[in-house]
Amino acid sequence: MKTLLHPTRTVALAFLLAIMVGTGLLMLPEARAEGASASAPALVAFFTAVSAVCVTGLVVVDTGTYWSPLGQGIILGLFQLGGFGMMTAATLLGLLVNRSLRLRTRLITQAETHVIGLGDVTSVAKLVFTVTLVCQTAIATWLTLRLHTGHGLPLDDAMWSGVFHAVSAFNNAGFALHADGLTGYQTDGWILTPVMFAIVIGGLGFPVIHDIRTRMNDPHHWSLHTKLTLSGTALLLTMGFVCTLWFEWSNPGTLGPLAWADKALNAAFVSVSARTAGFNSLDIGALSHESWALHYFLMFIGGGSAGTAGGVKVGTFLVLALLVVAEVRGRPDTEAFGRRISSAAQRQAITVLVLGSSMVVLGTLVLLRGTSLPTDQVIFEVVSAFGTVGLSTGITADLPPSGQLMLTLLMYVGRVGTITLAASLALGERRMPYRYPEEHPIVG
């Protein structure tokens, strides 16, 4: 029983329970759109529940027309729950009921917020609730007003659309009520800009937000994790923006017909959304092959640790990049911002990268085996699922059942696996009473 209740296993089981409950709810006849003759098929409900709980956004049916308002509300509830992270939700529940945290609850929460000490979990949980409530309310209000006054939507419809897309954006879920995503608003910066803001805030990770809040006027003393996440995020956003403009400037299917200001707006949106948000303001299927390759890279890396984003995480990528730089320069230590990165963190980063890459390769092979679709589109779909991004070139619904089930496994592992793996590595680290003699095998 003690093994079963280990924090890392509790994470995986909690996500799995949410998926099962979500599948059952989505199979209710009332969850289908009005006029549907039957409840949703089990595979459709299961795929949608996995995608929602794992805040991915891949769909096999159109969210806005296939599901009723109840079904859409269930989906919203699932990706809100998944975006928080089960441990954060459990911490909030413990605060509301007991006004204090037991040690086991703190350990469970630390499994997802492993850079925060046990003594800080209570303040982080409060901050999670506050930031989520304030950000989602502000974005939802803004979108509601814009959709009502700028696009003529009735107030009720504008309000529901505003709330749904605000919550989806903050949780990096990528679910939209329109079959074409947000392409209908590609020239409206009043819609795309707040959505981008919500995506970035949710994707930074709550340890970073906590650090910035407590040391707002003293960035010099921000943790190394915060500095790596912020600098890595800025680097990736800039690179994605510049490369998208370069690759798509004259593409008649994407940026080509747009004015220069709208080109810049949509290039920025692509760069932000590709790192696990899953919204699209451009037709993903019409992007150039170079842009697809850029998406592979951005989707695989993802956002910050212990946030709503997926992927192997920005911190993992930067630790490995710094490790390569140190090795090329012949330095014994991997350093950044005047700090030495521990060898344990380096080994954990390598492990996460290798296992993540292995899952992508396995998923690609399975999908290629069961379909005749182009390889580049299959790779895009696999990386999008593992990175819990939700972008697609349009092949998700065309995949056979075995392929869709493979995507659900990738979404689950991509969301839960990286959390539990990193936590288990950190919690399972122990000192050995002996060391073997050192030897240097030939490398390269």
Reported as a single tens digit per residue, the pLDDT across 118-159 is 445 566 667 777 888 999 999 999 999 999 999 999 999 999
Q: Is the pTM of this model over 0.85?
A: yes
Angle in degrees, CA 106, 351, 91, rounded to 5: 15
Do 71 and 32 touch, CB atoms closer than 8 A?
A: yes
What is the rounded CA–CA span in Å between residue 186 and residue 195?
12
Give the burial string for 287-315 (b: 16+ CB within 10 Å, else e): bbeebbebbbbbbbbbbbbbbbbbbbbbb
Query: What domain range includes position 98?
Result: 7-427
Q: Is residue 434 part of a domain?
A: no
Tell me the sheet residues that pair with 278.
none
Per-residue pLDDT at 7: 55
Range in 1-5, 24-28, 155-159, 167-171 with the lowest mean pLDDT: 1-5
32 forms bridges with which residues in the sheet? 67
**Residue 219 maps to a domain:** yes
Q: With pLDDT > 70 as the criterion, what percentage of the chain qualifies?
A: 85
Burial (0-12, 13-18, 19+ Cβ within 10 Å), 197: middle
In a domain, 110, yes or no: yes
Q: What pLDDT does residue 93 have?
A: 39
Q: State the total domains in the chain.
A: 1
Q: Is 435 within the bounds of a domain?
A: no
Q: Does some domain include residue 311?
A: yes
**343, part of any domain:** yes
pLDDT in tens, 213-229: 888 888 888 889 899 99
pLDDT, residue 97, reads: 37
pLDDT classification of 418: cutoffs 50, 70, 90: low
- Residue 197, classed as helix, strand or coil, is helix
d(CA 206, CA 211): 8
- Residue pair 169/137 in contact (Cβ under 8 Å)? The answer is no
pLDDT of 260-311, one tens digit each?
999 999 999 999 999 888 899 999 999 999 999 999 999 999 988 777 788 8
pLDDT at 49: 96
Cα–Cα distance, 67 to 74 (Å, whole number): 10
Asked if residue 423 is part of any domain, the answer here is yes
